[in-house]
Every structure is written in C-alpha cells, then in structure tokens.
Amino acid sequence: MKRFLTFACLILTVGFVFSQMASGQSDAGFKPASSNIQGADFPKISADNSVYVRLKAPDAVKVLVQGGDGLCPKPIDLVKDSTGNWNAIIPAAGPGFHYYWFMVDGVRVNDPGSDTYFGYGRPTGGIEIPVPGEDFFQAKNVPHGDVREHWYFSGITGKWRRAFVYTPPDYEKNVRQLYPVLYLLHGAGENERGWSLQGHMSFIIDNLIAGKKAVPMIVVMDNGYATARDAPAAPAGFSMKDLSKAAETLEQVYVKEIIPDIDLSYRTIPKRESRAMAGLSMGGLQTMLIGMNHLELFSYFGFFSGAIMGNILEDPKTAFNGVFADAASFNKKVKLMWFGAGSGETQFVKMVEDSRKKLEGLGIKSTSYISHGTFHEWHTWRRDLNEFAPLLFK
C-alpha cells in the first residue's frame, strides 16, 4: 500500500517534469542505463532509480509504457514534445532487471534503445536498474566458467532441443575431476537463455566458487517447455492445469533423455546425492512435480517463487504417491528443501509460508529466504540462487 501511494503521488509530478524537459530544460541527474545498446542515450536512470523513457514516433496518436511488477505494472502515458519524441518518467523502479515495452496506438513495440531478451513469450526489451551495495551477480576479476550450447534430439518430443550448460573454471584443466550437477529451470514465457542472460547465473556461480562459498558444479539450463511427439500444441495460457500437464512430458524428457545425456557428455557424478533441481515460478512448480516423483535422481531442491504446494497439495501426506508420508525416510534422502520469494510478491510469500507449514506438520525439514524489496522478477531469483547454491553438495 505504501509503495502504491508513493507511486501515485509521483505520477502526479510527471506532467510537470515533462513540460520542463520538452521546453529544453536539462535532464541532469539521468544517465543512460547500462543495459542500453551501444550509443543509445535512452532509457536513462536517475539516482533514485526513476527511469526516463523516450520513443521517436511523430505520427503516433497515443503511446504508453508498461513493464513488470517492479517497474510499471500499470501502463503510463507518454507525453509528446514538439520534436515528435514521446516521453515518460517511471518513478522509483525496483532493483535489478525488468522487462518493459511501449504500446504505440495499440501495437506492442520494444524500445529500440534497449537490448531484447526472451520474456512474456517473445523477444522483449529489458532494463537493468542499479543495485547499490550488491555485486554478487556482476562480472569480477575471478576465474570464469563457460556456458555452452548443448543440442540433443528428443525422441519424446520428436524435436531437437537446446540446453545451456555451465562448466566451472578449470573444467578443461582438471580433466580427471567429476562434478555435481544443478538442473536450473526458467519461468513461464521465458526459455533456456533466461538464467544466463537475465539471471547472470554464470557470474553468480563464478563468484561463489572463487570465494569458496560454493563447490564447483555443472549447471544445466534446459528449455522448460516440452510437447509429446504428434500431440497438439500446448495452450497459450498459464493455468495450473496447463502447467501441470506440460510438466508430465518434461518429466519424461528429464528422466529418459537430458539427465542420461548430460551424464554421458560431461564429467558428472552420476548419483542422486550429487544432483540438485531448482527453478523459478513455473520452474519451481516443475521442480516440485518432477523432483518429488524422482527422489532416486535428486537430493537437493530449490523453489524460487514457485507456484507450488499452497495450490496443488490439498493433502500433502498422500501427494506424489505418499512421498511425504514417511518424514524420517524423506529427510534421510533429501538433503535440502529450500523456498525463496521476494517481499513484494505477497502471494508467493504466502505460498512459501503455507508450504513450509504443511511440511513441518508432517515432520519434513525445510528452509526459506525472503528477498527484501524485490518482486516477481529476476533480482529476486538472482538473490535466491546466490543463497541456495552455497548449500549444495556439502
């Protein structure tokens, strides 16, 4: 509520600010975003993380800007100046990465000044908001691992599939060393590139390994969508029923194809004690649906803003063929049940609380983390990975 009131008050000042800028007043204090394409002056960010966007569209009648929860979940009107530029200020954006786009006379258009990423089911513009005092996700002068494209043909889907695979520093030097594996899943509307590009996964793991906070590991980021061969295309919606149904095919891909293929292609430790699975949002749900059915394959689980137990487990004692019924056996097999969410995504915070309460009632051990000041967006999940990865394989 406090954030909403602040947002509403700031919106009232936008027209005055633009009248000054359109009249040739200086936009001092705004600097081009680090995520801009080379040579682009806009979008710009101020010291208080307000974002100044501009689009050249002299013939347009109406232009709006819209984005993710931590940026501008409700559309903001742009104001046209005398040169044909449309301008707006988005007040006090949340930290980290955000998707955003323009609506130009009803047509969705990416900002030509920003790079694009795969989000919301299509290439979508994104902006990086500074996070003072945090550099765990930035490139540092430490040894770096590699992120490779790994293609494999899936007989289950009848298609070629691509996974991105992170190998840790010294992977090519220590040719006798075997490594544990983290299978890391993306969210709805995204793809296998998300964790590397939006999430800065490799920098996070590089920095943790260099600081001796995490053990060297392989990270596999496969595409989270799978449709069985000759089956009709999956619905465009993201209902729990649709996602659960789609996870059934993805489960077969993991069990019969991607895990065996990774074990064959990379120097892994092919044991359940050396495998982890984690995912964000839809990927958190998939982690639950796949992982709880296959404790023979995994020992560590991370649910980052996962749409999980609060919605799908009315009776956790009988769920997944009774996997939670014997707490002693479960706790012996599963080394970690980890839940994370951003403080601004209240429904997911409630899911975390409900899930842990249900598990605790059965005697199942778990732990949780709340990322303060972040929403259902990438900086929440960057922080989640940074907190989760050091707990693995020890």
pLDDT > 70? residue 10: no
Residue 116 counted as domain residue = yes
SS3 303: strand
Residue 123 counted as domain residue = yes
**For residue range 133-191, what is the model confidence (pLDDT) as tens digits?**
999 999 999 999 999 999 999 999 999 999 999 999 999 999 999 999 999 999 999 99
Q: Which of 217, 163, 213 is nearest to 185 (CA)?
A: 163
**For residue range 344-369, what is the model confidence (pLDDT) as tens digits?**
999 999 999 998 999 999 999 999 99
CATH number for the domain that contains residue 286: 3.40.50.1820
Q: What is the pLDDT of residue 230?
A: 83
- Of 129, 154, 176, the last residue of a domain is 129
Are 91 and 209 in a shared domain?
Answer: no
Q: Residues 389, 208: contact at Cβ < 8 Å? A: yes
Are 207 and 353 in a shared domain?
Answer: yes
Q: What is the pLDDT of residue 246?
A: 74
What percent of the chain shows pLDDT beyond 70?
89
Q: What is the pLDDT of residue 19?
A: 43
Q: Which of 180, 135, 203 is nearest to 300 (CA)?
A: 180
Region 19-26 average pLDDT: 42
Are 261 and 366 in a shared domain?
Answer: yes
**For residue range 69-106, what is the model confidence (pLDDT) as tens digits?**
899 989 999 999 999 999 999 998 999 999 999 999 99
Q: How many domains does the chain have?
A: 2
**For residue range 180-206, what is the model confidence (pLDDT) as tens digits?**
999 999 999 999 999 999 999 999 999
Give the global pTM. 0.90
Of 261-270, 317-326, 327-336, the poorest mean pLDDT is in: 317-326
pLDDT > 80? residue 9: no
Q: What is the pLDDT of residue 247?
A: 86
pLDDT > 80? residue 219: yes
Tokens of 140: 């540092």
Q: What is the pLDDT of residue 318?
A: 87
Q: What is the pLDDT of residue 316?
A: 86
d(CA 65, CA 221): 31
How much of the chain is helix, strand and coil, in % rounded to 5? 30, 25, 45
Are 218 and 336 in a shared domain?
Answer: yes
Q: What is the pLDDT of residue 236?
A: 54
Kindly report the number of other CB atoms within 10 A of residue 37's CB atom. Answer: 11
Of 25-34, 112-121, 326-335, 365-374, the poorest mean pLDDT is in: 25-34
Are 154 and 119 in a shared domain?
Answer: no
Are 306 and 215 in a shared domain?
Answer: yes
Q: What is the pLDDT of residue 235?
A: 58
- Of 100, 129, 158, the last residue of a domain is 129
Q: Is 105 left (phi over 0), alpha (psi -120 to 50) or beta?
A: left
Residue 137 counted as domain residue = no
Q: Which domain holds residue 269?
A: 146-391
Q: What is the pLDDT of residue 8?
A: 41
Q: What is the pLDDT of residue 307?
A: 72
